[in-house]
Each structure stands twice: as structure tokens, then as C-alpha cells.
Amino acid sequence: MTGVLPVTLGDATKVVQALLYSGKEYVCVMKLHKDASIEQIKKVLGEFEDNIYQRPPLRASVKRQLRTRRIYYLDLLETDGRKVLFRTGCEGGTYIRKLCFDIGEVLGCGAHMQELRRTRAGPFVETNSVILHDAAYSFMMWQEKNDETYLRRFIQPMERALDMIPNVHVRDSAVDALCHGANLTAPGVLSFESSVKAGSMIAVLTLKNEAVCLSKAIVNASQILNMEHGVIAKTDRVLMPRGTYPKGWKSDLKKDE
């Protein structure tokens, strides 16, 4: 299994949550156990472009209970004898090995996964991935020669990982309160994406596009425009260090002085 594996560094590790739930894309070689016609294969692949049920395989890192996963697309690319090459876009947490097995069952001939390459994990695509040797070289150039040009080419800001979850931009004055764990309230919101849904994860950003925190929305996008006060989202993971922006709220302590 090769392909795109986003690795988060240091404090950015908190954004992996956003990546786990984002979609993935794979190219896969599936081996059929008996001959099948291209028409048959196409028809069956088409049937799997749907919500599918999967029980995680024996060797899995999650609880083995039946769960549904969305297959966005499943396109046949090539066949060579009993080998079938396809490309699929699917929800995070879909087991492709299981998918191949199930396709084989529906075809009636049996099948297994032979090779797999991930071509996308959320916003990260194959075309801008780097091999470990290059990563090591760029780091060495920075550490020993003080040359950061290579480093900048292969490390991406953590905000890139948030591209696919709904973004909400907030006022400077709201930022530090959020960094201290306060919930996002209506007056702080400047703009938001129409994809904000109650219960789903959102990314809260400054006008400079820096990530402030990951939050759980408690209202839908349609409600936000008309809200003058009240909580929009509950802060879940704070990404920005406290004190980056000045404190925007009044403290009772000052009154006493």
C-alpha cells in the first residue's frame, strides 16, 4: 500500500481529526478469481457507487461493527485478463480490501485486492506529495546550511488540512477568547460557508486565514445570518497559542483597581 499519507508536525497534530473524516481517493488493482466480461464488471462497479455496508476486517484498528460508508465514484480504468484497475473516491474509513472482496461476491467469481495506492487524502493529492529522502534532505539543508527554500517547498501550513471542512472567519477581537476555550458566538462571526451544519466539525479562522480552533457547530448555516447573539459553535480543539491576538473582552479585575 503506497500513496498519500499526510503527517502532521508538532502542534498541527491536532488537525488530524479534520483529515480522518475527509474523503479519500485510491487507484486499485483487483484480481478476479474467474473470468468476467467487461460489461459485467462495469455494471457491478456501478452498483457500488452508493452507501455501502462494511464490517471492518479481522486485522483492523477499529471496532468490528457493521457501518455504512459512501462510495462517491468507482470508475473502471483498465482490465488485463483477470486484473481490474479502478479508481475510487470514498468516505474516510472505507476498507478497499473489503470492497474488492464484496465486488467479487456480487460478480459471483470472487476477487481480492492485489495492489493499492492512495491518490488523495482530503485536500492532499498525489501530485504534491514528497518522498522521505527529500524530506530528510530539505531538513538537513535548513539545519546545516540555513537554507529554508527546500523546507518551504515540502512543509505545508496546517490550514491546508482544513480546506475541506466548513470554514468560519471571525473578528480579531474574538480570537483570544477562542484561544482560551470560549465558544464562538454570533457577534464574532464575519463570514461562513453555506456547508456549516449543526453537529458537524468546522474550522475557525482569522481574516489572515490562520487557524484558531476546530469547533462543533450547533446551528445550521441558514440560521447564522440572522443571529445577533448566541452560541454558533462549541470550541473543541484550540490550535492557536493564547496571546497571539490581544484580549478582546473586559475583565472584572480591572474594575477593582
Partner 1 sequence: MPRTAAPWEVKHEVLVKAEGETDPRFGCKPEERSATDLMKYGVINVDKPAGPSSHEVAAWVKRILKQEHVGHGGTLEAKA
CA 117 to chain centre: 17
The SS3 assignment for 228 reads coil
Of the two residues 55 and 252, which places its CB atom closer to partner 1 in the complex? 55
What single-letter amino acid sits at 46?
G
Q: Where in 158-197 is the site for partner 1 (CB under 8 A)? A: 158-161, 164, 166-167, 171-172, 175, 189-195
Dihedral angle sign, alpha carbons of residues 118, 12, 20, 64: positive
Site string for partner 1, 82-121 (x = CB under 8 A): -------x--x----x---------------xxxx-x-xx
Q: Which of 86, 103, 206, 213 binds partner 1 (CB under 8 A)?
A: 206
Cβ closest to partner 1, residue 93 vs residue 109? 93
Cβ atoms of 192 and 224 within 8 Å: the answer is: yes
Crossing angle for the helix pair 96-107 and 38-47, nearest 10 degrees?
A: 120
Binding of partner 1 at residue 25 (CB under 8 A)?
yes
Task: Using CB under 8 A, count the residues that bind partner 1.
Answer: 91
Among 82, 98, 126, 182, binds partner 1 (CB under 8 A): 126
C-alpha to C-alpha distance for 172 and 189, rounded to whole angstroms: 10
Position 50 contacts partner 1 (CB under 8 A): yes
Chosen residue from 31, 42, 49, 219 binding partner 1 by CB under 8 A: 49
Q: At residue 193, what is the residue type?
A: E
Q: Is 6 in the site for partner 1 (CB under 8 A)?
A: yes
| Pick from 93, 112, 92: nearest CA to 102 | 112
Nearer of residues 182 and 186 to partner 1, judged by Cβ: 186
Dig out the grid coordinates for 32 from the structure: 478476479
Our finding on whether 136 is near partner 1 (CB under 8 A) is: yes
- Which of 38, 105, 110, 148 binds partner 1 (CB under 8 A)? It is 148
* Residue 247 neighbours by CB under 8 Å, 6+ apart: 176, 177
Our finding on whether 221 is near partner 1 (CB under 8 A) is yes
Q: Does 236 bind partner 1 (CB under 8 A)?
A: no
Q: At residue 142, what are phi and psi to the nearest 5 degrees?
A: -75, -45
